[in-house]
Amino acid sequence: MRVCIHRGTEQIGGTCVELEAEGKRILLDLGRPLDVADGDAAASVPRIVGLQEGSADLLAILISHPHQDHVGLVEFVPESIPVAIGKAAAALLDRAANWLSRPLLAGRTLINWEDRRPVKIGPFVVTPFLVDHSAYDAYALLIEAGGQRLFYSGDFRGHGRKAKLFDRLIAAPPPNVDMLLMEGTVIGRDGEERQFPSEDELEVEFVDKLQGAQGLSLLWTSSQNLDRIVTVFRAARRTGRRLILDLFTAEMLAATDNPRLPQADWRENIGIYVPKWMRRKITQDGSFDVLKRFKANRVFLDQLADPAYDILLFRPGLLKEVDAEAPLGGAQLLYSNWSGYLADPSTLLVRQWIEARQIPMHTIHTSGHASLPDLRRFAAALAPRALIPIHSFHTDRFGELFENVVRMRDGVWFGMSAAIAALEVPIIPPAAAGSEVAGWAAEDAPRVLSLEQ
């Protein structure tokens, strides 16, 4: 196999990796860079043969998870290119597209990942591994071709509500990995050596703040962070509170088709608020049926009878209507995002608003990415012959933290054998696809998909 990291060797977000074997190619993720504005997104598509006009030898785009920095540029490439993605992840993107008018996956041939079930795409055999991450339905990917094995970590962690997936993977990793492309989001951040708090530990913190609430609790978190929604819902249930979700978040939860996640029609501890922008969208589209599903639990902000027993999901875009309609006496803001976002100019209005309103802010958060101790455990378990840093602003530090590190540059093609030889590490012949080695086995024989045109 040959590899080209188009984006990722010096940055977080916008990830895109191209693999080539036997004259055929696949892409690992096609993410939108974090610093690219909406109007500039189309122009940020990497200059890869076939991404503008389609090409018979570009077989598929493999998406690790549904965060925009890994999937956000798919909407700008030809629909003729198939996309491989988790079934629930695709459903989340489709449901969001209904509201945001951004049809990322519409009209495309989709290949749905199933945990540890291999898929054959041309000369590549791809085995997805379900991982713990703040994005729902996230996968790491093992790619085999030409007698070589490359493992792409995607984004992952070991301290979320699906931490058992991390433990399972490092307890029985795929054997004989020639090359590991591993994320390092947290490297270089303050306190990188510490282990991050778990979602269960966050739940205890939320319980403490909710029990002491004197008014409405505003929860500032992402609608995509379903682990966090579950954590706060559990805290709400423990304290007899009601979690008021906006309709968009309720739609994301419904799209998972997972009855174990909080749903808008549950009888207790759930309320649904319909923001103005969604009311306008419903009126424009005539899609009034969507409101019927949430009628029993619908909440109006100016009619909250006992706000100290309510938790309202909040985002900067809701600032004006929350300020105009919600009772804010004794309110508190529970901030549950990366602290770095608070330094962004886009959050200035919120910071000024809570100061003017004298609303105290409490930060209760944990990372969606692996801690450095867990990155070390992960790298040691997979024991790659070469480890390639990706998805980090500090790839220069990987060499002091991990073994067998080879740093690459964006846009430069390299052969896997050459990269491994540069380390003078003996290459151990990989096991046959699907065979049992060291306790690991693919669940089924590869599905053979005819994707070549």
The least confident of 9-18, 87-96, 355-364, 422-431 is: 422-431
Dump strand ranges (E) for 194-234.
217-220
**Is 427 a residue whose pLDDT tops 90?**
no
Distance between CA atoms of residues 418 and 117, nearest Å: 30
Q: How much is the mean pLDDT over the chain?
A: 91
Q: What is the pLDDT of residues 3-30, one digit of tens each?
A: 999 999 999 999 999 999 999 999 999 9
In the chain, pLDDT over 70 holds for what percent of residues?
A: 93
**Is 442 a residue whose pLDDT tops 60?**
no
Which CATH architecture fits 2-190+368-432?
4-Layer Sandwich (3.60)
Distance between CA atoms of residues 24 and 79, nearest Å: 18
Distance between CA atoms of residues 57 and 60, nearest Å: 9
Look at strands 24-28 and 16-21 and give their pairing. Answer: antiparallel
**Is 428 a residue whose pLDDT tops 70?**
no
Position 64 scores a pLDDT of 99
Mean pLDDT, residues 313-338: 96
Helix (H) or strand (E) holding 58, with range, is: strand 58-62
Distance between CA atoms of residues 129 and 166, nearest Å: 10
Sequence-separated (6 or more) residues with CB below 8 Å from residue 167? 158
Phi, psi of 298 (to 5 degrees): -70, 140
Dump strand ranges (E) for 285-425.
310-314, 332-335, 361-363, 386-390, 413-415
Q: What's the sign of the alpha-carbon dihedral 279, 283, 284, 290?
A: positive
CB 129 within 8 A of CB 140: yes
Position 48 scores a pLDDT of 95
Q: Do 2-190+368-432 and 199-363 share a fold? A: no
For the chain, the structural domain boundaries read: 2-190+368-432, 199-363
Helices (H), 337-414: 348-357, 372-382, 398-401
**Is 93 a residue whose pLDDT tops 60?**
yes
The more confident residue out of 2 and 448 is: 2
Position 203 scores a pLDDT of 98
pTM recorded for the entire structure: 0.91
Q: What is the pLDDT of residues 26-37, one digit of tens each?
A: 999 999 999 898
Q: What is the CATH number of domain 199-363?
A: 3.40.50.10710
Position 186 scores a pLDDT of 95
Position 295 scores a pLDDT of 86
The more confident residue out of 445 and 184 is: 184
Q: Which two tokens stand for residue 181?
A: 């492309």
**Is 436 a residue whose pLDDT tops 60?**
no
Mean pLDDT, residues 107-116: 96
Mean pLDDT, residues 381-390: 97
The least confident of 149-163, 184-198, 392-406 is: 184-198
- The closest of 177, 250, 243, 237 to 207, measured between CA atoms, is 237
Burial environment of residue 73 by CB neighbours within 10 A (0 to 12, 13 to 18, 19 or more): buried
Q: What is the pLDDT of residues 186-245, one digit of tens each?
A: 999 877 778 999 999 999 999 999 999 999 999 999 999 999 999 999 999 999 999 999
Position 437 scores a pLDDT of 35
CB 219 within 8 A of CB 314: yes
